[in-house]
């Protein structure tokens, strides 16, 4: 009888306790991992590798990840992680990039703040603004070495958790991109 009561209490209480687990998604040659500490129904969609030509004929290879809240209307709550690999060292400083981002936020949102901080064990920045709907928007960035730039943008409320826990590393072999639904 005591075992039955314990089992019934666990069956009632356990579904109410939410556990999150770290997320790890492959995008091209990179593994993107973070812990967003949520039980929301999120969709993790790797963005397919794309090569384009930048200023001065420099080749830029893009890989990324889009995160959407499945229950938010019109994709209002989403985030994008972009990994850009440049064929030459990146010439602009992080401070310049942060200031340019803040200027854009100021034009669009009316106000912006810049915080310089460590992201994925690298120096980085976070620009924060509030859009017309009152939603907090973020645009952040950091560099891995002198030829890889990571940007994280969006209005997903869990974006601060991503910034605190993100880790990107190059995989030994690229894998096929596929959508991960949690």
Which CATH number describes the domain made up of 21-181? 3.40.1000
pLDDT, tens only, 33-45: 999 888 888 999 9
Nearest one of 35, 61, 31, 36 to 46, comparing CA atoms:
31
The pLDDT score that the predictor gives to residue 35 is 92
The pLDDT score that the predictor gives to residue 139 is 93
Contact predicate 30/81, CB 8 Å: no
For the chain, state the CA radius of gyration: 19
pTM, rounded to two decimals: 0.80
Whole-number average pLDDT of the chain: 81
* Cβ-Cβ contacts under 8 Å for 36 (sequence gap 6 or more): 20, 23, 42, 158, 161, 162, 165
Q: Where are the domains of the chain?
A: 21-181
What is the DSSP track for 100-149? HHHHHHHHHHS--EEEEEEETTEEEEEEEEE-TTS-EEEEEEEEETTTEE
pLDDT, tens only, 120-136: 999 999 999 887 777 88
DSSP state of 92: S
């Amino acid at each position: 009888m005591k075992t039955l009561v314990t089992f019934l209490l666990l069956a009632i209480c356990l579904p109410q306790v939410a556990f999150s687990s770290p997320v790890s998604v492959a995008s091209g040659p990179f593994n993107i991992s973070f812990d967003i500490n949520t039980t929301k129904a999120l969709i993790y969609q790797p963005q397919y590798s794309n090569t384009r030509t930048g200023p001065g004929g420099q080749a830029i290879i893009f890989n990324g990840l889009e995160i959407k809240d499945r229950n938010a209307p019109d994709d209002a709550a989403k985030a994008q992680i972009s990994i850009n690999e440049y064929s030459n060292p990146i010439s602009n400083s992080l401070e310049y990039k942060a200031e340019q981002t803040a200027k854009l936020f100021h034009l669009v949102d009316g106000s912006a703040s810049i915080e310089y901080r460590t992201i994925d064990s690298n120096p980085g920045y976070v620009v924060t603004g509030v859009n017309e709907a009152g939603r907090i928007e973020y645009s952040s960035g950091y560099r891995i070495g002198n030829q890889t730039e990571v940007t994280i943008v969006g209005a997903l409320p869990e974006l601060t958790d991503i910034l605190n826990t993100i880790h990107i590393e190059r995989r030994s072999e690229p894998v096929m991109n596929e959508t991960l639904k949690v």
